[in-house]
Structures are given as C-alpha cells and as structure tokens.
Amino acid sequence: MRIRGFFLFRRYTVLTFILLLLLIALVLMSLRVKQRKGLDFFDAFLMELCSPFQKASTFVIKTVHGVFQNYIILIHLQRENAMLKQKIVELQRENSQMRETAYAHERLKGLLQFKGKNLSSVIAAEVIGQDPSSWFKSVTINKGEKDGIKKGMAVISPEGVVGQILKTAPYHSTVLLITDYSSAVDSIVQRTRAKAIVEGKGENRCQLKYLLRSEEVMIGDIVVTSGLGGNFQKGLMVGEIRKVDKKEHGIFQYAELVPSVDLTKLEEVLIIAESPLPPPEERGKKMKKSPPGAGPKKK
C-alpha cells in the first residue's frame, strides 16, 4: 500500500493506526461530552441505515411471538388477560386522574386547568428495538424528525411516563427511559404533594432524590409528574413507592419507586408533541429552582 511508504517500518504503521483509531474515539467522546448536541448528518444516516434491520427483525419476532402466544398457547386466556389488563390500566388512569382532581379542589388553588389536561397533540410510535448495552436504558422508535419528533419531547404510555426523546433521525428516534441513570423527571408525591426528582437506578427501578426528610411518605404512595419540567404535563403517573429509608440525620430521605409502566415490555408509546405550559405561579417556582429540573441530566 502507498500509505505505508510514508512510514519507515511496517510495524510502526500498524501501531500508529491503532493509536490514531483510539485517539479518534477519545476525541469523539470528548466532543460528545462537551457539545451535547443532537445527531449530525452522519449519525442520522447510520441510524436510518440500520433501523430497517431492527424493524424487520421486530416484525418477524413479534409475528412469531404472536402466533405462538395467540394460536398455540392459551388462546382464550390470553385474550381475557389482555382485556382485563386493559381494564386495569383504564381504571388506574381514571383513579389517578380523579385523585388529582380531588386534591386540587381541596387545596383551592385552581392549579388544574382542564384545558391543559388534554393532550393537544400526541404522536403514536412503535418500539422497534431495545438498548444494545446493559448499562443504559433506552428504546428505538419508528418515528423521527419527519413526523414532528424533537429532542426532549415527553414519551408516555397509557400507564404513565416512559421517558424522553434523546436522539432523533429523520424517521427514527431514541427514547431515554426513566429508569436510565441519567434520566430525571420533576415529580410530586400525590398524597402529600412532596416535591422530588425521580432518577433512574439502572434496573427497573427509580429513586426519589431531593425528597425532604420532613415530608411524610410511605410505601404505596403514588408519584406523579409535577409539570415543572416543561416537557411532561402535570399529574402523569410515574410510579409507586416501594421503599423508604429515612435516616436520623441529613436533609433528605431516600425513597425507591417502581415505574407504573413495565418498561421491559414496551411495544407502543405516545410522544407529546405539544406540552401544555404549567400555571404561571409554578413557572415562577421553576425559574427559581432550576438545578434539578426535568429532562436528561447533564452527563
């Protein structure tokens, strides 16, 4: 090869190449850490190139899985189960909304704006792939910039909050799940109205951060979005508290919650294209309390 002519020894060529390749990887890492911008053309191109494989594979797997489940094993039970699950989801959602309304009326603040409660614009998308790595929690969906998806948009399912759009390509996007360690959602405990930030724990668990020790929370309490982040509307179910650890000292207490959505079995999601603004008084609070905020944490 001609390039080798520039080098004195062949073994140095290889060594130089290795060092150069690793250096490029480090430079790329450094750029990503520093700039944090969305995918550029090359990234989007690669994503579009590989996503059809995922789409085709998901289709085949789902078809085979569906045939296996629907026609071979327990046909009736499966249908009944799906129907009951759907019913539970509807009731849960209804229950959560009713509680929200009741609390809001009790406090006489008029914070619930029913106009704002209705999602003005949602985009339905199908999950076509999971995160290839075990350290991170994300999914790939079959909707992208051409469908109106933008970075930072909230992603939900009928059961509750799923995550936020992390990367976008023309026809596909990556959703950062709330269980990812770098995810953060501004939330409140529904019963006590205690404010906290829901952060991912890596597994199918989240933790409540900045939850004041003075707040009374207990196992079974429901956590909903506060609406302060700007991306999520108020009152969307995030999860249920499963563990509370209140030490004798310190400002904050620790609580762990299980997301209301089974993120390991996600198939379809909704992306909130237009999020209603929180009431003016809450926006004022948000301006003062900027650090935790909702959205992907600065990694």
Partner 1 sequence: MKRIGYSLFLGILFLTLQTTLLPYLPIQRIRPDMVLILILYWGLSFPPVSGGILSFFLGYLMDLFSGNSFGLYTFSRPLLFYVAQFFKGRIYLEGFLSQFLFVFLFALFEGLLILTLLSALNPVALNNLYPLLFTFYAPQSFLTGLIAPILFFLLKKISFLFFPQYGNGIKTRERG
Which of 22, 102 has the CB closer to partner 1? Answer: 22
Q: Applying CB under 8 A, which residues contact partner 1?
A: 14, 17-18, 21-22, 24-26, 28-29, 32-33, 36, 39, 43, 46-47, 50, 53-54, 57-58, 61, 65, 128-138, 140, 166-167, 174, 176-177, 180-182, 201-204, 207, 264, 296-299
DSSP state of 71: I
CA-closest candidate to residue 231, choices 189, 176, 194: 176
Tokens of 98: 């009713």
Q: CA 133, CA 255: separation in Å to the nearest integer?
A: 27
Nearest distance from C-beta of residue 165 to partner 1, angstroms: 11
Burial of 60 (0-12, 13-18, 19+ CB in 10 A): exposed
In the complex with partner 1, the residue whose CB is nearer, 183 or 190, is 183
Nearer to partner 1, 115 or 298 (CB): 298
Nearest Cα to 210, choosing from 273, 295, 293, 116?
A: 293
Distance between CA atoms of 93 and 23, rounded to whole angstroms? 51
**Residues 6 or more apart from 111 whose CB is under 8 A from it?**
104, 234, 279, 282
Q: How far is the CB of 73 from partner 1 (least distance, A)?
A: 14
The distance of closest approach from Cβ of residue 174 to partner 1 in the complex, given in angstroms and rounded to an integer, is: 7
Tell me whether residue 5 or residue 280 sits nearer to partner 1 (CB atom): 5
Tally: H helices and E strands in the chain = 5, 12
Q: How far apart are CB 22 and partner 1 at their closest, in Å? A: 6
CB nearer to partner 1: give 78 or 130: 130
**8 φ/ψ angles, rounded to the nearest 5 degrees:** -75, -40
> Which residue(s) pair with 208 in the sheet?
198, 255
Q: Nearer Cβ to partner 1, position 14 or 91?
A: 14
- CA 191 – CA 174 distance, rounded (Å): 33
The least distance separating partner 1 from the CB of residue 240, rounded to whole angstroms, comes to 19
4/193 with CB nearer partner 1: 4
Radius of gyration of the chain (CA): 23
Helix %, strand %, coil % of the chain (to 5): 40, 25, 35
Question: Minimum CB separation from partner 1 for residue 124, in Å?
Answer: 20
What angle (nearest 5°) sits at the alpha carbon of residue 241, between those of residues 236 and 243?
Answer: 160
Q: How far is the CB of 80 from partner 1 (least distance, A)?
A: 22
